[in-house]
Amino acid sequence: MRKSNYDKQPSTHIEGKIVCGWDNIIKVLSEAWADEPVWAIDLYPGCYEEDFLEAFAKTGRKIINTRDLMRPEAEIRQLTERFMTDDVLFGYLSNVRLEEYWTPHPPLGGVTNPAIIVGTGAAFVADKYIRHQTSDIRHIAYADMARWEIQQRFRRHEVKALGIDNHEDSPSVQYKRGYFNDWNIIDRYKDELMQQGRIQFWLDTNRRDEPKLITDAQMRQGLERTAHKPFRVVPFFDPAPWGGQWMKEVCDLPREEANFGWCFDCVPEENSLYLEAEGTLFELPSQDVVLAHSRELLGQQVWARFGKSFPIRFDFLDTIGGGNLSLQVHPTNEFAQKEFGLPYTQDESYYLLDAGEDAVVYLGLKEGINPTEMIEDLRAAQAGLPSPRRGAGGEAVLFDAEKYVNKLPAKKHDHYLIPAGTIHCSGANSMVLEISSTPSIFTFKLWDWARLGLDGKPRPINVERGRQVIQWERTT
């Protein structure tokens, strides 16, 4: 059997050593900051806060948890409610500022030095409420967190959101709050700290039992080297209701899993980077290299349009031995801006890396269809009702996709362009390289082939939103 050459652990080399283990981390920080009265251990949302509180309590310093100083949870929910909306999937990009999570005079009580501020916003809290000095605190260690690992913790109901305890919510609701509110707020805050050069150390606690520490100089060296060479981010894989078997062999994935549908191969806001020193890997969000070196990565013209947003994503969709993707459509630019606050939307393309003999792509509408009838049939299918019309063979069907949508034969190396507003999906027995713009969650599913999601429940369908963005002139 041919050995897979797909690298699942690409890395950038850095000089020096990576400090491993809480005892060694505390020792390094205690030596570096021995004479400093206040330390800030700033955490990205999704870190295990209790691990940090327990580890730093061993220093003998007073520990102040930033979460204890925030506004009451009810006030924070009210503050962010307009961005969360009542939709199960979609919100609106938040413009809340981190400082709004605290009152002007939080209940600190008597604070004695030496102290360690631990939690999200630790540097802000130290600046505004502890030090009472004109200069900002410089003794900051930042614990970053890969977004894929955060999602795993959501699924296990292990972590809280920014300022609220929502760990019992469904993973999709937790993700929605992260995507539209928490990560948006904290990425702006983290970027400010990075640009000001205030962070002295970085922590990696993506693997709970293997905490790691590097200096800011090592971090900057790694990001600089990454930005000035061809590089790959760390891929991750996930099953899907339509998932296939191709990636198991080609990417050397666990054979015991039922399927793998997704591979996020390069989505900087979702993936991570590895920095490597003496064989040890340090994991950080790949978005950090975009924040630090966006102009070098994108070039002046693209940077002027997209700023610190990497505008292209690459992922794999494996349906070989699986099923059809959901029939779907992506919002137009105008709709995405108005409804979700997005600066741009998801145009995409399918490149067929491999295909079975019966592979197809559903793409665009057939000539002469009746849009009203199609929407009526989709609504009936969503309600689980038979179509008021009959399928091509006269049989009763929930939704006759082939009556309305082109079903095109697909073969290896075919490339299909799919601008926003175009109905589409990959059929079964295809291995697709999906190349698209970055806003990746804004898919309006119109029909999911009468199947259930991996959780045994129907996946959310968005016929009404889809109706508003379908470009009815996109026909053969």
Write the pLDDT tens digit of every residue in 155-172: 999 999 999 999 999 999
* Between residues 392 and 399, the one the model is more confident about: 399
pLDDT band, very low/low/confident/very high, at 384 (cuts 50, 70, 90): confident
Query: pTM for the full model?
Result: 0.93
Topology (CATH) of 319-469 = Jelly Rolls (2.60.120)
Q: What is the pLDDT of residues 60-93, one digit of tens each?
A: 999 999 999 999 999 999 999 999 998 889 999 9
- pLDDT band for 390, please (50, 70, 90 cuts): low
Asked whether residue 109 carries a pLDDT value surpassing 60, the answer given is no
**Confidence at 134, pLDDT banded by 50, 70, 90:** very low
Residue % of the chain over a pLDDT of 90 = 84
Least confident of 111-115, 328-332, 439-443: 111-115
Portions of the chain given CATH number 3.40.50: 22-210
Query: Above 90 in pLDDT, residue 389?
Result: no
Indicate whether 132 pLDDT > 60: no
CATH code for the domain defined by 22-210: 3.40.50
The dihedral formed by the CA atoms of 326, 332, 333 and 336, expressed in degrees to the nearest 10 = -60
Indicate where the chain has its CATH 2.60.120.10 domain(s).
319-469
Of 130 and 181, the structure prediction assigns the larger pLDDT to: 181
Q: What is the pLDDT of residue 111?
A: 60
For residue 342, pLDDT over 70 is answered with yes
pLDDT digits (tens, 9 = 90+) for 293-307: 999 999 999 999 999
pLDDT at 428 over 90: yes
Q: Is the pLDDT of residue 397 over 70?
A: no
